[in-house]
Structure 1
Amino acid sequence: MRRVALKIAYIGSNFHGYQRQPNYRTVEGELLRVFKETNIIEDTWTAHYSVAGRTDKGVHSTGNVISFITDEDIHINQLNGLLPDDIKIIGEARVPYGFKVRFPLTRTYTYIQPISPFEKKTLDITKMHVAMESFIGKHNFRNFSKRNEKNPNRKIIDVNLEVDEDVLIFTIVGESFLWNMVRKMVTSIMEVGYGKLDINDINELLKPKELRQFIRLQPAPANGLILSDMEYKNIKFKDSEYAKNKLVEFLKKEYMLHEQEKKADCRLIKILKK
């Protein structure tokens, strides 16, 4: 018996989230199907199976981690051959028997936000950077969650924004996150940029008082969110470049399909505005 940790990458577009659900295609459902086919896991309870992040419908990952106990050897290429094209195991690590996958030192999320060509207002990037600084440190994130959390206090280590032509790339590093927290953080920063919220509004939202009925933050779309990394103390994953490349091949095909849809949409807009 030994405990292993596997790093999982997936494209969330065609999954109903990570967690297995009856009658829905999920990341976990596909993984457990293959693990049972190969006798790696017979029962999740006895295998002490656990996952670091239960991502929502549409959310992607390059760094989610699962862990379980098994007697079998792990052959990543074999497992990936049985998995669908939009999920791949991209890393493996031997971990101590008492390893707790749900408690990494840090989690990193990346959010991809296109700048709308249809928005008349210009983004104030300087104000956005100032607003981002408000999140650094330990705060009460009650107003950035969809639930009434028992403990809404969370520590954010870093928030970074990169502007790449017509795309904004947010990188948010923290110890842990509430449900919808990252996506609501992105929404609030974007609204500051467009002048719909003030920086003082962000500071008020971070205070331990209920403001959700007064300032309604809709979570940014799930399809822009990537759970991009987990960092664990004294754990180093051996990455599979072959598995990464297989996922890249799939992504290139998906990119061209979406690019065709986008160009067709642009042409439709022009035709309709004639």
Structure 2
Amino acid sequence: MRVALKIAYDGGAFFGHQRQPDRRTVEGECLAALRAGKVVRDPLESFFRSASRTDRGVSAVGNVIAFDSALRPDAVVGVFNNHAQGVWAWACSDVPPTFHPRHAIERWYRYHLYGDLRVDSLREVGAVFLGDRDFRSFTSEPLVGPFALNRLEVRRDRDAIVVDVRAGSFRRGMVRRIVAAMVAFARGEVALDTVRTALEGRRHDFGLASAPPLFLMDVTYGFPFRIVRKPKAFDEWGALEIDASLRLRWLRSIRESVLSSNSRESSQT
């Protein structure tokens, strides 16, 4: 039987996604968990594959891995989560024997922006990326012929601005280079025509946006995944949320203490 799992992970805890000797990677952790749980013995024999090899520092909510296994998908989720460290399976599906997770209908990435940026400016420049375009300025990999995004949407979400980008596939660093160009325009550092001409084939280096604000939200196919709620995963997510909340409170306390000290010193002078 061939099994597909949806997995989530914090990219900051790994040296990228692809297996590397003597480095902790997402694929390496997944295979270690599957071997420890006796789900697979050898990645070649089990035809282990990943949907997206996210860059170092990029996190995932819904990346997909697939492999051959004698266990049912629901059972695999439990075994995987019992052994994996920092990677969680939360949905599964039984798939055809020839299924390769890279052959997806759509991938959805979300980038989080902070600071004083105008949403309308980001939307204006985002619109020029739609349709068949020359994206050679937006990837470090060879790219032959036109490339098309399915959607690019910008909206404000509380204290952040989120940029949602969807396409059938992406090249290395593409979303981060797109966001870098959008931010440069919103800050008045490049003209809209510069972005347009880059998408017409005139090479321009807009830089590379930071990796941690980028999440791989989902990878979709022509079939549904079954959500499997395991208490262990929920307990670990809850503990991480508490840690993040405490760290945020600590940082806010530092800021408030500095501001209040400055205010007291100013009133005394």
Shift of 1:16: 0.9
CA distance in 2, matches of 1:142, 1:45: 33
Matched residue, 1:220: 209
CA distance in 1, matches of 2:65, 2:119: 37
TM-score between the two structures when normalised by the length of structure 2? 0.88
SS in 2 for 1:218: coil
Shift of 1:218: 2.0
| One of 122, 132, 149 as aligned partner of 1:138 | 132
> Does structure 2 retain, via aligned residues, the 8 Å contact 1:142–1:152?
no
Q: Is residue 262 from structure 1 mapped to residue 261 from structure 2 by the alignment?
A: no
C-alpha offsets along residues 205-248 of structure 1, whole Å, 9 cap, x if unaligned?
A: 1112333xxxx322111110110011112x11001233663453
1:258 to 1:14, Cα distance in 2 relative to 1, 3 A:
farther
Matched residue, 1:118: none
Equivalent residues in 2 for 1:21-100, closer than 5 Å: 21-74=20-73, 75=75, 76-84=77-85, 86-100=86-100
CA distance in 2, matches of 1:196, 1:61: 30
Matched residue, 2:225: 237
C-alpha offsets along residues 38-61 of structure 1, whole Å, 9 cap, x if unaligned?
A: 221111111111111011111111
Structure 2 segments unaligned to the other structure (5+ residues): none
1:161 to 1:254, Cα distance in 2 relative to 1, 3 A:
farther
TM-score between the two structures when normalised by the length of structure 1? 0.86
C-alpha offsets along residues 101-143 of structure 1, whole Å, 9 cap, x if unaligned?
A: 111011000111121xxxxxx5332222111111112211110
Higher gyration radius (CA): 2
RMSD value, Cα = 2.3
1:167 to 1:100, Cα distance in 2 relative to 1, 3 A:
same
Could you tell which deviates more after superposition, 70-79 or 187-196? 70-79
How many percent identity over aligned positions? 26
Matched residue, 1:197: 190
C-alpha offsets along residues 169-219 of structure 1, whole Å, 9 cap, x if unaligned?
A: 1111111111111011111111111111222121111112333xxxx3221
Matched pairs, number: 260
SS in 1 for 2:251: helix
1:258 to 1:112, Cα distance in 2 relative to 1, 3 A:
farther
